[in-house]
Structure 1
Amino acid sequence: MTSPDRYAEERWFLVRGLPAVVRRGALIRRVWGRSAPALAGLAVVAANSILVVALSGKHTIDIDGHPTVTEGFLLAIVVLVLPVAGLAGWLVSRIDSPLKRVLAANVCLVVIVLGCIFGGPSPREFVNLVVSAIAVGIILVATASGVGSILGWAARDTMSNLALASGMFVRALPVVLLTFLVFFNTYVWLMAAIVSRERLWLAIGFLFLIASAFLISSTMERVRPILEAPDPALEDQERLAGTPFEAIADEPGADPLSRPERANVVFVVAASQVGQVLTVALATGAIFLVLGLIVLSPPLLESWTRGAGSTDGHILGMTLPVPDPLIQTTMMLTAITFMYLAAKAVTDKEYRSQFLDPLLDNVRLTLVARDRYRSSRRSR
């Protein structure tokens, strides 16, 4: 088999979030070009820092009180930087040619270096270069280890199922309405004003671990039959048409899945569900944040927090004209919503039929292709 054919087979599995299936050493090859989508996202962040420094003359965003027109534009940049970074990564990920991917990665690296010189989180260029070098190193390690492949697949799967996410949001309206009562609770705001951000992150992490345990335990039960025997179906030949495996026949006695492959499959299915639930929880949190910006006034904030609340918020090193108790309350309600939706996803039959069952069927098809891939390698 030619090298392009082997590259096409390996890339097919990597795109589907199963790096454990490909040969050892395949993850390290072409790691620079395969890192191009993540580097594109980092390049957008670097370009954003250049724009922030050019407009404000500062390396950090510090906006309090009533923002000016320029500061309002900076706020818009802060809101849009992550969606634009995601869009840039998605566009680069659609590049099929390895050579063009390397070229795109090189262009992104140039933008990142320029961001260190003309922007960055610090006025010191050396500090910016060190921070950027660490970020690029993390991207390369994630790509070479296969973690980037799994996270990329989970992100694409979440974006392709936004319609299902909206349906989950509608079914979650009862808890959302109940959470509205929590939102207008004085003691919640008082706690949000007093608790430190470090303790709040610990509490959110604790809730996230519990909710993830719900999903993973349910995933293990649903995935176990597929892991034991991914039997080919009659329609698999048609569904694999146009892939590198369409001309390979199904053969009995395929190699059993290794422990890394089993862990990879479970992690992929769990990550996809976490991404789906997290999307709905973040959308709910955004609603509460906007609602707070509408109804919250200085006298009301003073009453709810008993004078302990700051009218300026701090997040990711930025000072924003958003009350800090509002940010913390939104974070808590988002975590609670995530925990509820994770538990509901385990028992919701409609969610399983619309999202989980098609997901498991795609995983089964990928494992059928894996058996063909392994059998074709044995015959060479």
Structure 2
Amino acid sequence: MAVSDMRQVHDWFLQRGLPLVLTRRVRSRALVERSAPMVSGIGAVVALTMTLAVLTGADPDYGLAARLAVLSLVLIAAPFALHALHRARTTRSEAGRRSAALLVMALFVFGLPFADSGFSGIAAAEALVFALIALMAIWLTYIGFGSIALWAFRFASVQLGALGTLMSRALPLLMITVVVYFTGELWQLAARMSRQRLWETIGFLSIVALLFVVTTIRDEVQALREDRAELHDPAKLLVGTPLAVQPGREPARTALSLAEQVNVVAVMVVSQAIQVVFFTVGIFAFFLALGIVAVPDDVAVLWSAEQSCAVGQPPCPGTWFGVTVPVPQTVVHVSLFVAVLSGLYFTVSTSVDPLYRERFFEPLIADVAVSLAGRDAYLEMETTR
């Protein structure tokens, strides 16, 4: 097979979120250049958050905000420049892409810390932390995290109609949570719960939901490999792909390696997790708006039995990753807590809901079946080269 054809095969697996099917040699190519957009995206989010935190603080430092804003713009523009250089596919453009990737890494590791803290020991310590984050981004690029996330996001976005249907079926849950939302004990808990403890609680509930989803999907993948009766004719599945095979010729099926099993389960878990996050964010926005409209400041103080920032003044304003928001902190905590509980219920209920399986899960299984058929054909092709 020609080099251009092999590139099409590699791109096909990457677009389908199965990078760990490819050999280590393929995944190791141009790691710094490929990981630069992820680093740039993380840096842009951090810089924008820091800019908003500075501007909404009690004593804004407009000079620092301006420096961070410039860094944000540069980091936002970097992925587009890297993509344009990659599309050019010339020797000069590849050299420019490599230089631009190194510049992005330098801005992330050194630019953000020194723009924030100046030339100091604190900035050096922050630079070390940012360097570790950059190395983590390079490792995630090597294992194909970006490919998995992009495929899962594309699939989940296509299936947003199923999410709307499931949200409508979750209306009874929403009515129950509305009643729970107006419970004084919940507001007292939220008022006394620190943001750190709240995130720890959210993390615990998220791990429970993740373990449930992983267990369910792992069983589905195992059943898919064991029974290939209807969905699994390689000649039909691979029509129009770079790995098309002749009718009646089925590539040898081998057991999935541990990395491949993790990869297949990961793309399915992430695609479902994206829908759960969409649902949870929607519920959070709903209860945040409900708290602003329906709960006066004096009632929020009464329910939560907390003291306001000053006598005769409304409750303390909330914060979101250091950014001050015009919503009482207790309302933020209660809304987030109820939304996460609703998301946990949504995760469990969708796994057994027949309509959800028909609208979302079965198309996902069918898509993964195509990927696994391509994987068998690719491995057979690699052994004969």
Relative to the length of structure 2, the TM-score reads: 0.79
- Could you tell me which amino acid in structure 2 is paired with residue 177 of structure 1? M
| Pick aligned residue for 1:60 from 54, 67, 89 | 54
| Distance 1:339-1:201 versus aligned 2 partners, 3 A rule | same
Whole-angstrom CA distance in 2 between matches of 1:317 and 1:157: 33
> What is residue 21 of structure 2 aligned with on the other side?
21
> What is residue 312 of structure 2 aligned with on the other side?
none
SS at match of 1:319: strand
> What is residue 346 of structure 2 aligned with on the other side?
341
Contact 2:20 2:143 in 1 (8 A): no
> What is residue 311 of structure 2 aligned with on the other side?
none
Q: 1:198-220, CA deviations, whole angstroms, 9 ceiling, x for partnerless residues?
A: 22222222222222233223223
SS at match of 2:117: coil
Deviation (angstroms), 1:272: 1.5
| Distance 1:159-1:134 versus aligned 2 partners, 3 A rule | farther
Summarize the alignment of residues 230-245 of structure 1 with structure 2, pairs less than 5 Å apart: 230=228, 237=235, 240-245=238-243
| Distance 1:298-1:94 versus aligned 2 partners, 3 A rule | farther
| Distance 1:319-1:119 versus aligned 2 partners, 3 A rule | farther
> What is residue 220 of structure 2 aligned with on the other side?
222
Deviation (angstroms), 1:169: 1.4
- Could you tell me which amino acid in structure 2 is paired with residue 223 of structure 1? V
Whole-angstrom CA distance in 2 between matches of 1:255 and 1:359: 22
Whole-angstrom CA distance in 1 between matches of 2:236 and 2:83: 26
Q: Does 1:364 align with 2:369?
A: yes
Whole-angstrom CA distance in 1 between matches of 2:28 and 2:337: 40
Q: Which structure has the bigger radius of gyration?
A: 2
Q: 1:173-198, CA deviations, whole angstroms, 9 ceiling, x for partnerless residues?
A: 11112111111111111110001222
> What is residue 152 of structure 1 aligned with on the other side?
150
| Distance 1:225-1:232 versus aligned 2 partners, 3 A rule | same
Identical positions, percent: 28
Contact 2:40 2:104 in 1 (8 A): no
Deviation (angstroms), 1:372: 1.0
SS at match of 2:265: helix
| Pick aligned residue for 1:97 from 51, 73, 87 | 87
Q: 1:236-258, CA deviations, whole angstroms, 9 ceiling, x for partnerless residues?
A: 64664443213677434333322
Whole-angstrom CA distance in 2 between matches of 1:160 and 1:90: 24
Contact 2:33 2:101 in 1 (8 A): no
| Distance 1:158-1:96 versus aligned 2 partners, 3 A rule | farther
How many residue pairs end up in the alignment?
A: 361
| Pick aligned residue for 2:319 from 305, 314, 323 | 314
- Could you tell me which amino acid in structure 1 is paired with residue 118 of structure 2? R
Whole-angstrom CA distance in 2 between matches of 1:207 and 1:118: 33
| Distance 1:224-1:238 versus aligned 2 partners, 3 A rule | closer
SS at match of 1:322: strand
Whole-angstrom CA distance in 1 between matches of 2:87 and 2:361: 32
Deviation (angstroms), 1:110: 4.3
Whole-angstrom CA distance in 1 between matches of 2:95 and 2:236: 33
> What is residue 31 of structure 2 aligned with on the other side?
31
| Pick aligned residue for 1:173 from 171, 179, 195 | 171
Whole-angstrom CA distance in 2 between matches of 1:192 and 1:281: 18
| Distance 1:233-1:198 versus aligned 2 partners, 3 A rule | closer
Q: Does 1:6 align with 2:11?
A: no
- Could you tell me which amino acid in structure 2 is paired with residue 286 of structure 1? A
Deviation (angstroms), 1:359: 0.4
Summarize the alignment of residues 278-357 of structure 1 with structure 2, pairs less than 5 Å apart: 278-308=277-307, 310-357=315-362
Contact 2:82 2:101 in 1 (8 A): no
Whole-angstrom CA distance in 2 between matches of 1:45 and 1:203: 24
- Could you tell me which amino acid in structure 2 is paired with residue 330 of structure 1? S
Contact 1:36 1:104 in 2 (8 A): no
Contact 1:39 1:105 in 2 (8 A): no
Whole-angstrom CA distance in 1 between matches of 2:190 and 2:140: 35
Residue ranges of structure 1 left out of the alignment (5+ in a row): none
Deviation (angstroms), 1:349: 0.5
CA RMSD of superposed structures (Å): 3.7
Contact 2:231 2:369 in 1 (8 A): no
Contact 1:168 1:351 in 2 (8 A): yes
Q: More displaced, 321-330 or 288-297?
A: 288-297
Whole-angstrom CA distance in 2 between matches of 1:104 and 1:200: 42
| Pick aligned residue for 1:135 from 133, 136, 139 | 133
Q: 1:315-351, CA deviations, whole angstroms, 9 ceiling, x for partnerless residues?
A: 3233333211112112211211111101111111010
Contact 2:15 2:151 in 1 (8 A): yes
Whole-angstrom CA distance in 1 between matches of 2:279 and 2:79: 22
Whole-angstrom CA distance in 2 between matches of 1:229 and 1:102: 48
Whole-angstrom CA distance in 1 between matches of 2:180 and 2:100: 48
Deviation (angstroms), 1:161: 2.4
SS at match of 1:321: strand
> What is residue 48 of structure 2 aligned with on the other side?
48
| Distance 1:45-1:273 versus aligned 2 partners, 3 A rule | closer
> What is residue 262 of structure 2 aligned with on the other side?
263
Deviation (angstroms), 1:32: 2.7
- Could you tell me which amino acid in structure 1 is paired with residue 267 of structure 2? V
Deviation (angstroms), 1:163: 2.4
Deviation (angstroms), 1:16: 1.7
> What is residue 211 of structure 2 aligned with on the other side?
213
Contact 2:39 2:104 in 1 (8 A): no
SS at match of 2:327: coil
| Distance 1:258-1:248 versus aligned 2 partners, 3 A rule | farther
Q: More displaced, 169-178 or 308-317?
A: 308-317
> What is residue 383 of structure 2 aligned with on the other side?
378
